[in-house]
């Protein structure tokens, strides 16, 4: 225990990193399940249903499949870079999550008070963009090292798309920076407290609605998702830069893409949607029981679904799951835990909404052709983001007079 | 507290290695990269001095050096692409005539 | 041995190793990756010196854009292994000792005046101060560099075109 007392920051950081890793990897796996379910329901079918109740064990089955596939190494590939690229993509995608603050509260881990963030850096936003811009290397090197025409073309196109939309991404955020005046992510959220007219929360999405749409469009392009996923779509360039990758290395690219989605959604909630702040006024004290009520409702829905439609092992599994949700709901209603739970609950709810928006876009919109994509990025998105910046600056100047 | 002279010695070592790479390498792109290494070493010296004197002019100058390096890399690599297309080689010792 | 000193020596060693790899590796793409490693470790050294904004700009612009440009050009031109020629035997034997001599002399000179250098000021620099200085005292060079970038963009597009 004296080790903890002598090196408090180190031990607490390691505990937070382990917890975050476990949560993130589970969230990644179940994000794939979520996407397949939502896209399936958009297309009037059910999606994964048979592997475990409601397909909940599908990510586990996918993971095992990836582990047991044959590991291919193309004969003339540059071995070091071929092995480096997926590792780089995945580790950078996970590193950005260290900067994101989840809640305002100060929790006590092993007796040390600490905030709900791993690294509270003063220039947090800048470092997030820095890590995102290094992520281009994962894609470009994967395309080059596979020694295949499809991979090279896909890698070049994909990385050119990523660096083009990065400019639009960073410019669309500058409006928010003008309104808040700091790069620190926790302070960005705290600057969005308060309400207009006692009801509308003072989130940055309302004055910066143009900025939000520019940011989200650039983010979808940056993470190579539909409608901007021509470089890696299966009907186009075979599979783009990850054509020659199989088994676990492909799984790392796959997970890196979803981790990037999660990071970009977390950043959008912090910048535009008020992070961990509740959308309802705090004076309405019944809002403190919303987390508990949500888990209770989910538990009840699962229980009635288990009783009515499943038999045998699935029924037991679903009952156990709903019992777990009831236990969580009971824990959330405990008054000592409410300040700690409420912040992360709203944060995760908003991130989930944005991820649903991502998946909804995937199921609905067609793909853009590559030259249409690049035209859009440079000739439409960049001027709109610049115009947003100029107008915001002018209005801030006039209002501060 | 790390003494500033350590940063300056590191900057000198990196600059020296950049000069060696510039002289010895034959691929024109690698020579360009040696130039970027030298610029980075100089930037490190700028920031170290800015920290020592407590003024921020050094860091502003680092911004300008980065910008100028970007412009130079862009134009230089465009020239390299044209040379590679015309002469079909990237070896500086082969490109030794004034007329193609 | 404070933590700062350990971090400094670790990343200084990585930077020097990267620079040596730039010289010694044969494929240009490996040299490019070695240079990216050097730039990232220099960014960490900037953080040690308290320059947060410059460290982030180094990673975003230098390692994340300029080096990506280098990597693209290497990929597009399919730059292969370095050839070995016999033309530079004199440089080969006299060059490395002279390079070491140049570096050693610089290092020796710096250590000689090390006592006269002031110690570092503490604390990180805020971006606000840096931007105030940039946009008040240095606004003319700032605008000049923006025109410089415009000229560079135009020049790169014209120079790299296939047909006129």
pLDDT tens-digit profile of A242-279?
777 777 888 888 899 999 999 999 999 999 998 888 88
Neighbouring chains of A at 3+ CB pairs within 8 Å? C
Q: Provide the residue count of chain C.
A: 164
How many CB pairs below 8 A link B and C? 224
- pLDDT band (50, 70, 90) for residue C94: confident
Among partner residues C120, C129, C153, which is closest to B51 by beta-carbon distance? C120
pLDDT at A123: 85
Chain C residue numbers touching B17 (CB-CB < 8 A): 16, 19-20, 22-23, 99, 103
pLDDT at A235: 58
User: Does the pLDDT of residue C38 top 60, yes or no?
Assistant: yes
CA nearest to A133 within chain C: C64
Question: How large is the greatest C-alpha to C-alpha distance in chain A, in angstroms?
Answer: 70
Question: ipTM of this complex > 0.90?
Answer: yes
On the question of a cis peptide bond just before residue A177, with omega within 30 degrees of 0, the verdict is no
CA nearest to C100 within chain B: B16
User: Does the pLDDT of residue A392 top 90, yes or no?
Assistant: yes
- pLDDT band (50, 70, 90) for residue A234: low
Among partner residues C20, C31, C160, which is closest to B30 by beta-carbon distance? C31
% chain A with pLDDT above 70: 96
Distances in whole angstroms, Cα of residue C70 to Cα of each of A150, C23, C73, C74: 21, 16, 5, 6
User: CB-based contacts of A128: which residues, under 8 Å, 6+ apart?
Assistant: A96, A99, A185, A263, A267
pLDDT at A237: 58
User: Does the pLDDT of residue C87 top 60, yes or no?
Assistant: no
- pLDDT band (50, 70, 90) for residue C101: confident
CA-based nearest distance B96→chain C, Å: 14
CA atoms within 13 A on the CB side of A350: 26
User: Does the pLDDT of residue B14 top 80, yes or no?
Assistant: yes
Sign of CA dihedral A380, A381, A382, A388: positive
User: Does the pLDDT of residue C86 top 60, yes or no?
Assistant: no
Report how far residue A83's alpha carbon sits from residue A98's, in angstroms, rounded to the nearest whole number: 24
Report how far residue A304's alpha carbon sits from residue C121's, in angstroms, rounded to the nearest whole number: 66
pLDDT at B39: 96
User: Does the pLDDT of residue A321 top 80, yes or no?
Assistant: yes
Report how far residue C39's alpha carbon sits from residue C64's, in angstroms, rounded to the nearest whole number: 10
CA-based nearest distance C43→chain A, Å: 11
pLDDT at A390: 94
Report how far residue B20's alpha carbon sits from residue B4's, in angstroms, rounded to the nearest whole number: 25
A→C contacts (Cβ < 8 Å), by residue, are: 78, 80-81, 84, 121-123, 126-127, 129-131, 133-134, 136-137, 140-141, 143-144, 152, 156, 159-160, 163, 183
- pLDDT band (50, 70, 90) for residue A31: very high
pLDDT at C118: 59
Condensed to tens digits (0 to 9), the pLDDT of residues C107-137 reads 788 777 766 565 656 666 778 888 888 999 9
pLDDT at C119: 60
- CB-CB under 8 Å, C45 with B33: no
The chain-wide mean pLDDT, for chain B, equals 88
Both tokens assigned to C13 = 């060693």
User: Does the pLDDT of residue A108 top 80, yes or no?
Assistant: no
How many CB pairs below 8 A link A and C? 63
Average pLDDT for residues B16-44, to the nearest whole number?
91
pLDDT at A285: 75
- pLDDT band (50, 70, 90) for residue B20: confident
Instruction: Read off φ and ψ for residue A72, nearest 5 degrees.
Output: -95, 140
Which has more pLDDT, A385 or A327? Answer: A385
- CB-CB under 8 Å, B67 with C111: no
Chain B residue numbers touching C46 (CB-CB < 8 A): 44, 47
Report how far residue A383's alpha carbon sits from residue A15's, in angstroms, rounded to the nearest whole number: 44
User: CB-based contacts of C54: which residues, under 8 Å, 6+ apart?
Assistant: B47, B59, B62, B63, C46
User: CB-based contacts of B39: which residues, under 8 Å, 6+ apart?
Assistant: B65, B69
The mean-pLDDT minimum among A325-329, B62-66, C92-96 falls in: C92-96
CA nearest to A85 within chain C: C33
Of the candidates A74, A206, A97, A83, the residue with the CA atom closest to the CA atom of residue A148: A74
Q: Provide the residue count of chain B.
A: 100
pLDDT at C19: 95
Condensed to tens digits (0 to 9), the pLDDT of residues A81-103 reads 888 899 999 999 999 888 898 88
Report how far residue A2's alpha carbon sits from residue A9's, in angstroms, rounded to the nearest whole number: 13
Condensed to tens digits (0 to 9), the pLDDT of residues A117-128 reads 888 888 889 999
Which has more pLDDT, A87 or A199? Answer: A87
The DSSP string of A137-152 is HHHHHHHHHT--HHHH
Q: Residue A238: which H helix or E strand, with range?
A: none
Rg (CA), chain A: 22
Query: Contact at 8 Å (CB) between A31 and A355?
Result: yes
List of E strands, A50-129? 106-109, 112-115
- CB-CB under 8 Å, C49 with B56: no
The mean-pLDDT minimum among A286-290, B41-45, C80-84 falls in: C80-84
- CB-CB under 8 Å, B37 with C22: yes
- pLDDT band (50, 70, 90) for residue A354: very high
pLDDT at C123: 64
Report how far residue A69's alpha carbon sits from residue A249's, in angstroms, rounded to the nearest whole number: 11
């Amino acid at each position: 225990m004296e080790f903890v007392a002598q090196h408090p920051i180190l031990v607490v950081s390691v505990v937070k990193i382990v917890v975050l890793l476990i949560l993130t990897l589970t969230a990644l796996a179940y994000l794939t399940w979520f996407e397949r379910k939502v896209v399936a329901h958009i297309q009037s079918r059910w999606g994964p249903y048979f592997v475990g109740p409601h397909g909940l064990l599908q990510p586990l089955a996918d993971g095992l499949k990836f582990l047991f596939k044959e590991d291919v190494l193309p004969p003339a590939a540059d071995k070091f870079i071929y092995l480096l690229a997926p590792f780089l993509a995945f580790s950078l995608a996970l590193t950005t999550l260290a900067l994101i603050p989840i809640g305002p509260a100060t929790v006590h881990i092993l007796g040390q008070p600490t905030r709900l963030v791993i690294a509270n850096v003063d220039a947090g936003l800048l470092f997030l963009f820095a890590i995102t811009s290094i992520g281009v290397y994962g894609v470009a090197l994967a395309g080059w090292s596979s020694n295949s025409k499809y991979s090279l073309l896909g890698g070049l196109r994909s990385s050119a798309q990523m660096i083009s939309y990065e400019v639009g991404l960073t410019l669309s955020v500058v409006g928010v920076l003008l309104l808040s005046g700091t790069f620190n992510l926790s302070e960005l959220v705290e600057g969005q407290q308060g309400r207009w007219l006692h009801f509308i929360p003072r989130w940055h999405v309302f004055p910066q609605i143009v900025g939000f749409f520019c940011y989200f469009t650039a983010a979808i392009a940056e993470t190579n998702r539909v409608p901007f996923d021509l470089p890696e779509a299966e009907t186009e360039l075979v599979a783009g830069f990850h054509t020659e990758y199989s088994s676990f290395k492909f799984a790392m690219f796959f997970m890196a893409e979803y981790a990037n989605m999660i990071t970009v959604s977390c950043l959008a909630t912090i910048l535009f949607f008020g992070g961990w702040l509740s959308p309802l006024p705090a004076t309405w004290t019944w809002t403190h029981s919303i987390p508990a009520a949500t888990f209770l409702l989910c538990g009840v829905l699962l229980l009635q679904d288990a009783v009515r439609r499943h038999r045998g092992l699935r029924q037991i599994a679903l009952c156990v799951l709903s019992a777990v949700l009831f236990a969580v709901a009971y824990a959330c209603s405990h008054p000592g835990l409410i300040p700690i739970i409420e912040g992360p609950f709203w944060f995760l709810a908003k991130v989930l909404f944005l991820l649903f928006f991502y998946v909804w876009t995937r199921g609905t919109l067609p793909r853009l052709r590559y030259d249409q994509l690049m035209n859009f990025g440079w000739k439409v998105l960049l001027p709109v983001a610049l115009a947003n910046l100029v107008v915001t600056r002018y209005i801030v100047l006039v209002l501060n007079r | 507290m790390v003494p500033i002279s350590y940063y300056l010695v590191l900057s000198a070592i990196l600059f020296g290695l950049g000069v060696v790479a510039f002289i010895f390498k034959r691929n024109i792109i690698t020579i360009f990269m040696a130039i970027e290494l030298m610029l980075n070493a100089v930037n490190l010296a700028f920031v170290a001095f800015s920290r020592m004197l407590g003024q921020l002019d050094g860091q502003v100058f680092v911004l300008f050096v980065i910008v100028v390096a970007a412009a130079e890399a862009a134009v230089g690599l465009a020239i390299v692409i044209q040379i590679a297309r015309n002469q079909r080689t990237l070896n500086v010792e082969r490109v030794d005539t004034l007329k193609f | 041995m404070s933590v700062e000193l350990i971090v400094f020596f670790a990343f200084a060693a990585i930077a020097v190793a990267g620079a040596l790899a730039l010289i010694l590796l044969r494929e240009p793409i490996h040299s490019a990756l070695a240079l990216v490693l050097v730039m990232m470790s220099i960014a960490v050294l900037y953080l040690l010196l308290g320059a947060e904004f410059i460290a982030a700009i180094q990673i975003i612009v230098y390692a994340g854009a300029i080096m990506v440009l280098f990597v693209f050009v290497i990929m597009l031109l399919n730059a292969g292994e370095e050839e070995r020629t016999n033309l530079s035997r004199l440089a080969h034997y006299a060059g490395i000792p002279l390079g070491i001599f140049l570096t050693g002399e610089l290092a020796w000179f710096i250590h000689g005046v090390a006592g006269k250098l002031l110690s570092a000021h503490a604390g990180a620099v805020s971006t606000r101060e840096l931007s105030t200085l940039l946009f008040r005292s240095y606004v003319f060079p700032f605008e000049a560099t923006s025109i410089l970038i415009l000229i560079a963009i135009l020049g790169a597009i014209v120079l790299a075109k296939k047909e006129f």
